[in-house]
Chain A
Amino acid sequence: MTLADFIVTNAPALLVAIPLFAAFTCPAIGRISAAARNLWVMGAMLVTAAIAFILAFRVFSTGTVIYVFGAAATHLAVPLDSGGIPIRIIFTVDAMSAFMEIICAIVGVSVLLYSMSSESHNSNLEGYYALFLLMITGVFGMVSTGDFFNFFVFLEILSLASAGLIAYRIDGGLAVEAALKYFVLSTLGAILVLFAIGIYYGQYNALNIAMIAQRMQFSMLDKIALVLLVAALAMKCGAVPMHFWTPDAYSMAPSSVTAFLVVASQASLYGLFRVVFTMYNITMNCVTVGWIIIILGVLSMVVGVTMAIPQKDIKRLMAYHAVSQTGYMLLGVGVGLAVLGNATLTSAFGFMAMEGGIFHIFNHAMYKGLLFLTAGAIFYRIGTRDLNKMGGLGHTMKYTMIFFIIGALAIAGIPPFNGFASKLMIYESVYLFNPILAIIAMVVSILTLASFVKVFHSVFMGPQLPEYADVKEAPLPMLIGMGILAAIVILFGLFPQPVVDMLVAPAAHALADQGGYIASVLGGA
């Protein structure tokens, strides 16, 4: 077996195994030298990202890939003597999972490159990189796994690693407080998820998502489980009214970590969509649940942006905008869910709304990651996050300013940046569903633009301040990290149609296609 065959065959397992191995060996490698450690961590991340792309290519070209851990062969989902139950842990990578893996790989590489220089002055970097790689593992595991208990395990890995990294800059105890808040809420959410898993296991004797979906009865207990899961995962992705941890956690974490926390929140969003589309699908009342998700989305959009406007801390402001943008994804996919049972409406605008929402996940990860990285670059150079103390930085930090403009215009949905492409899809399809929702979405976009104009003006415009006269441009690795994300923001804004056709539409169809998901694990249903 050649190396290429080996990688293609074992890609789903390697996605988790390589970052785990690199994370565990990181403290030992760090004792050799800092350069060796950086090389080791970066190499592991690049290899993982390459494998994610290989796997995604395979999924998009040949369909869902499953990987059965510990079996005699990778595709033996149901052992012969198990009575038809897939007892092993299975990774089920369909187009939606592959889509999320691409996001995680791109953001992971650029953020890690960025933190090579942004964190270089801090102590205990072995721990930092080990936890960062554990976050990568957590996200890859959450979006790949086809086993619901395994989803819980990766959720916990992700939460613990994130909490550790939020507290990384102790910052007089403020960061520790934010991390504690995040940790308590995450644990609470994880317990709700575990409770729901217990309900499924008690009823259906199965932990595999495909098996639960196949046996789904939508009994009273399933309704309780659905409520628990929607509440817990909506909280983890920062939807209003469970958003209160995001401003603290996002603003106190180092910026590189914040940029990846956005991806981590979206992994929870993925979990939410996986639950409602793959596990329940049309067995439940899609209109009601769809509207609940739409209302969560609209609330997040409006509350997020109105809370963002008065903020004076640049990262807190961006964190509220992250809440607001999550609302768009919930709105788009919620509309898709609300019309799921109705074939004419689904083909008229349901799929387009879902595609818009899913495309927005990708775009949001890119431009919001970029914005947090620029905020981190500003903090790195001037040491404050207070907007009132900034000003005139456009004279010295030119590249950072350009990246900020790209990110700000993208988040406000201005063409030709990628935020415009996905927001337009959401506006058009949601307008057909309910014009008022589309109008709210547009107003929120305008408020977003207003807010970022304010930030741009107070950070970069104006005369050069005497205290920042000798501020230099951010170091090169940080600029490259931001540049990767900025290039994707522009590229996907200029050519959205191929991206939608090649990546987003397959992901949306895979999400809606419950039968296909079940068949890929359990064989012809």
Chain B
Amino acid sequence: MSRIVRTAADIIYPFILIFGLYVVAHGHLTPGGGFQGGAVIATGGALVIVAYSYVEVREWLSGKVLMGQEVIGLVGFIGVALLALAFGQVFFFNYLNASGSLFGIPVPYGINAGELNTGGFVPLMNFSVGCEVWGGLTLVILYMLSGLEKEGC
């Protein structure tokens, strides 16, 4: 694509990344969550592939890293749930909720600005899912757009 498109993609990409991470991090407070945020980040990848070319993007993005991201996300998700069993609780028991530690503040009642530090292990699960979808969906997009030729600008 033209220099204008590339420059615009360069400028927009960090914002897409930050917005996606925001959706992931606020998954327990606002609409959205790990999957939606991860999908937003992956669309940033699609933008870069369209603006540059598949061959160039392939040099920046390693399939192994993306695959590793998937594995870390998935294992993180099931691991957080399995930790409940290790603590002698029921599978998927929210052991961080209202515990006073990380994400452990009790949810305030009534209208409030939204307390990020609540939700127990739900934010952790959102991070895991976000990480997994980021890697997995980017891989899917890479494979789907692998037919894009590097055309003349």
Chain A contact residues, CB within 8 Å of chain B: 1, 6, 10, 13-14, 17, 20-21, 24-25, 27-28, 67-74, 89
Contact = CB atoms under 8 A, between A and B. Distances in A.
B91 A17 contact: yes
B80 to A, nearest CB: 12
User: Quick one: which of B85, B88, B90, B92 has the most chain A CB within 10 A?
Assistant: B90
Contacts of A17: 78, 81-82, 85, 91
A356 to B, nearest CB: 36
Of the listed residues B67, B68, B78, B91, the one surrounded by the most CB atoms of chain A closer than 10 A to its CB is B91
Interface of B: 67-68, 70-71, 74-75, 78-79, 81-82, 84-85, 88-94
Given A10-B85, A13-B85, A17-B81, A25 B71 contact: yes
B67 A27 contact: yes
Contacts of A1: 88
A74 B93 CA distance: 10
Q: Shortest 5 CB-CB distances between A and B: which pairs?
A: A13-B91, A24-B74, A70-B92, A69-B92, A24-B75
B90 A68 contact: yes
19 contacts: A6-B85, A10-B91, A13-B85, A13-B91, A17-B91, A20-B78, A21-B82, A24-B78, A25-B75, A27-B70, A68-B90, A69-B90, A69-B91, A70-B91, A70-B93, A71-B93, A72-B90, A73-B90, A89-B92
B126 to A, nearest CB: 16
A102 B90 CA distance: 24
A74 B90 contact: yes
Nearest to B81: A17
Contacts of B91: 10, 13-14, 17, 67, 69-70
Nearest to B88: A1
Contact of B71 (A14, A28, A74, A89): A28
Given A10-B90, A67-B90, 4 more contacts: A20-B78, A28-B75, A70-B93, A73-B90
A160 to B, nearest CB: 12
A27 B69 CA distance: 11
A67 B85 CA distance: 13
A140 to B, nearest CB: 14
Nearest to B75: A24
A242 B70 CA distance: 36
Given A24-B71, A24-B74, A71 B82 contact: no
A465 to B, nearest CB: 42
Contacts of B71: 24-25, 27-28
A27 B65 CA distance: 12
A193 B82 CA distance: 29
A20 B89 CA distance: 19
Contacts of B93: 70-72
A3 B71 CA distance: 28
Nearest to B67: A27
Contacts of A27: 67, 70-71
Contacts of A73: 90
A70 B89 CA distance: 8
Best-surrounded residue of A14, A27, A67, A68 (most CB of chain B within 10 A): A27
Contacts of B82: 17, 21
Contact of A21 (B68, B70, B75, B92): B75
B132 to A, nearest CB: 9
Nearest to A21: B78
Nearest to A25: B75
B38 to A, nearest CB: 16
B90 A70 contact: yes
Nearest to A73: B90
A71 B84 CA distance: 11
Contacts of A25: 71, 75
A479 B88 CA distance: 41
Contacts of B90: 10, 13, 67-74
B66 to A, nearest CB: 11
Given A1-B88, A28-B71, A70 B78 contact: no
A73 B88 CA distance: 10
A27 B68 CA distance: 8
Which has the most chain B C-beta neighbours within 10 Å: A68, A70, A74?
A70
Contacts of B89: 72
A486 B90 CA distance: 39
Contacts of A89: 92
Contacts of B84: 70
